[in-house]
Chains A and B, each alone.
Chain A
Amino acid sequence: MSALVFAIPSKGRLQEQTLEMLARSGLAIAQDGGVRLYGARIPNLPEAEVRLMASAEIVTALRDGEIHAGVTGADVLSEADPEHTRIALIKPLGFGHADLVVCAPMSWLDCTTMADLAAVCADFHLRHHRRLRVATKYIALAHQFFDAHGLDDYRLIESAGATEGAPANGAAEVIVDITTTGQTLKDNFLRPLEDGLILKSEANLAVSRGADWDDAALSCFARLIAALEEKNAPNPAFDAFIKGVTA
């Protein structure tokens, strides 16, 4: 049995960049099963079992303690566990950058800040006899952010896909979504609010607090971290995590 179960994205740009990073750190993955690998190993870290999983599955598995560690976006990790009680983010990896932002229709010339949005929410409720709807896949993060800005007169609508289309097709008035270049937002006549940045996300190495962290798992993960950190620089987040599990 492997000492440590470590998950990486099973497809896309995030997978490519994760593999590149591991290779750069001397942790290249053995390519013995063809392109689409779902279980793999790292010859230089033989005690680790590498699982290739969809991003959403990595998040769930980390939250439930089914795997020790994984690589995926801080946005989905934080959405699943906003207070970071079950998943600890150990190291931002410098790729997979995206911003989670609150966006209003460009046609709302009167709405460029969160304070404007609060006033528009109240006005909208009064005029339309219903609350303004905010479409998002990031229900927990959106709620936390709106709460911190004193907004409560709105409704969150969970969007399954293509959130940016919601204001145009009448499913919602405002959205909270991920953007990288801003082009998709522009194409849909949406504009981020000036103070509407919820999270600057990037790929992160994260660990599950609930996984079985025995000595073998800890020492294997310590070697993984040491390889990833430039010149074996200390990682304070990892040290804090170790303290937590060994306390």
Chain B
Amino acid sequence: MTHAHGISETLAARGAVAIDPPVLQPAHLYFELAGEDLRKRAFLVPEADGSDLCLRPDMTIPVCREALVRNEWLTDKPFALAYEGQVFRRRTDATSGAAEFMQAGAEWFFPRAAAAELEPQIIAAAIDSARAEDADPDLKLGDVGVFRALVQAADLPASWDEKLIRAFARPGGAAAVLEEMANPAPAKVPALAYELVGEPLERAEEKVADALRAQNIPLTGGRSYAEIAARLQAQAAHAKGPKPDPHCVNVIAGALSIEDEPEQALAGIFKLALQDMRTPGLDAALDAATDRWQALRRLARPPKQTRFSLSLGRGLAYYDGFVFELEAPKLGTRAALGGGGRYDGLIHALARREKNGRNVSSWGAAGFALRTKRIADASEP
């Protein structure tokens, strides 16, 4: 097996400590953190106690688990862990590529205040890593944070915002929800929901409990009367409330369809939002994206082509900030060399779950993974 020395040296020079996390990982943790979609791609290995392990389908979660047991959290300084190793993914169809391949990359963990300075350095580290292997990839940028700020700025009626944000990571998901917003289906809401409108939650909770007792239905399934009551209230509000403003729906759809050089794309989104969706949160998110791009240009020679698209989500629900991908178009269907982004929510959820978990709520996390074989194939002759 050939090692990607250029990548490991680039990452070591940036202070990343090389680690070698276990290949076998608890499957339930993956499904819990990365979603059931991973199931069709993960190789499962049964344990003697009936639980399942999986051959790691990515490196991010294994590296995060290693990170959580280290002592660097006790300082207030960022730290980075680098890796190179095999990942395993079941092929879902003939075009899915190899079932096992090498990834090299690094993950950074940092107090949130350090994010603005670190994020462009992380993207630059990925570009320089590829260049150290003689590849010169194109760059695609995105920002889930900008998308979320835009949705919040749209001030959509009850629960549409959550639905849209939830759908974002699924291919075509956001477009489907926007379509539904433009032509909402008549909602079917239980009669009881309308009786709960305007009631304080405690009263609504009692009414739900009474309704169930009257029919001799016990409460099963791990949700409280209050949870059920709160959602019934939300359902009624959703059904009776105003439809999403078509103008806002158009702005979000328009922003998602922009793909351009970063300055133009971000200016285009700003211009769309200017009409009447401007909020401090959106301004801050757009400024952060602009600053990140400008800092990146100072840190690394700009790639031949860089595009920004708000719809870049990498198909992974755990990204919640900037995202990026490196591409070598000449490799055709194998053009995706790797990428990464920011995933604060994932490291927080993982810290809650691991027994030795630490309180990392004031920390952020971001990183990237590169497919070394493709990088080698993309290298300039």
Contacts and interface: CB of A to CB of B under 8 A. Distances in A.
Interface of A: 104-110, 112-113, 116, 118-120, 122-124, 127-131, 139, 143, 146-147, 150, 152-156, 167-168, 170, 173-174, 189
A113 B189 CA distance: 10
A241 B40 CA distance: 27
A107 B167 contact: no
Which 10 A/B pairs are nearest by Cβ-Cβ distance? A105-B221, A110-B231, A167-B221, A173-B221, A105-B220, A167-B220, A106-B217, A110-B232, A107-B219, A168-B220
A124 B221 CA distance: 11
A153 B220 CA distance: 20
Contact of B32 (A118, A152, A155, A168): A155
14 contacts: A105-B223, A106-B217, A109-B211, A110-B231, A112-B188, A112-B190, A124-B222, A131-B32, A152-B36, A167-B221, A167-B222, A168-B218, A168-B220, A173-B223
B220 A154 contact: no
Nearest to A194: B188
B91 to A, nearest CB: 13
Given A124-B223, A129-B349, A173-B223, A110 B36 contact: no
Given A119-B231, A129-B352, A152-B317, A109 B192 contact: yes
Contacts of B232: 109-110
Interface stretch (B129-137, B148-156, B158-166, B328-336): B158-166
B61 interface: no
Interface SS of chain B: helix
Given A110-B235, A173-B222, A119 B32 contact: no
A109 B36 contact: no
Contacts of B221: 104-105, 107-108, 167, 173-174
Given A109-B190, A167-B222, 7 more contacts: A106-B217, A107-B223, A109-B212, A112-B190, A119-B231, A130-B32, A155-B32
A143 B228 contact: no
Given A113-B188, A167-B221, A174-B221, A107 B212 contact: yes
A170 B32 CA distance: 17
Interface string B202-226: 0000001001100101111111000
